[in-house]
């Protein structure tokens, strides 16, 4: 039996994250059923899930399966998310990222995001330690 879209997303997410905790297929199904939520998928096992409200987009999560990393898929899927946010006429994009996720932070900074806030002790790591969330934003340039 073929996997559903939420099951495929949950599988990639579980392989990609410990902190924040991976989301379940049920959580993905719920998010995908919400108004304003959009999914973009990449060439390989990668995806970005976003949410749009008038003039703002939020990157809910971006994941690239571990075996596909180092090929530029994260950058490609981030650009695809931003293209969809632009199509929806978002003026800004927001995201949260664990303060210890150096690879993701480096990607977001290199693509023009900047830190606009910090949520202290926002995430709980598997060892129960607390990790801050960086809130980042970027102005969407319409063409």
Per residue of the chain (143 residues), what is the pLDDT tens digit? 678 999 999 999 999 998 888 999 999 999 999 999 999 998 789 999 999 999 999 999 999 999 998 999 999 999 999 999 999 999 999 999 999 999 999 999 999 999 999 999 999 999 999 999 999 999 997 65
- Structurally, the chain folds into a number of domains equal to 1
Give the domain extent around 87.
5-139
What pLDDT sits at residue 72?
Answer: 93
What pLDDT sits at residue 73?
Answer: 95
- Start-to-end CA distance of the chain, whole Å, equals 43
Residue (of 81, 102, 94) closest to 19 by Cα position? 102
CATH number at residue 42: 3.40.630.30
- In the block, tokens 């690239």 appear at 64
Phi, psi of 71 (to 5 degrees): -115, 10
For the entire predicted model, the pTM comes to 0.93
| Residues marked as catalytic | 96, 108
């Amino acid at each position: 039996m073929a996997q559903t879209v939420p099951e495929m997303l949950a599988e990639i997410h579980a392989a990609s994250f410990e902190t924040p905790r991976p989301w379940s297929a049920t959580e993905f199904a719920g998010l995908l059923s919400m108004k304003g939520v959009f999914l973009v998928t990449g060439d390989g096992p990668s995806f970005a899930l976003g949410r749009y409200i008038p003039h703002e987009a939020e990157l809910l999560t971006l994941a690239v399966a571990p075996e596909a990393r180092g090929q530029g898929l994260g950058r490609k899927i981030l650009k695809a998310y931003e293209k969809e946010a632009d199509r929806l006429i978002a003026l800004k994009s927001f995201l949260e990222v664990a303060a210890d996720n150096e690879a993701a932070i480096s990607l977001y900074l290199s693509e023009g995001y900047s830190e606009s806030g910090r949520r202290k002790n926002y995430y709980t790591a598997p060892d129960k330690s607390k990790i801050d969330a960086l809130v980042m934003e970027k102005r969407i340039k319409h063409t």
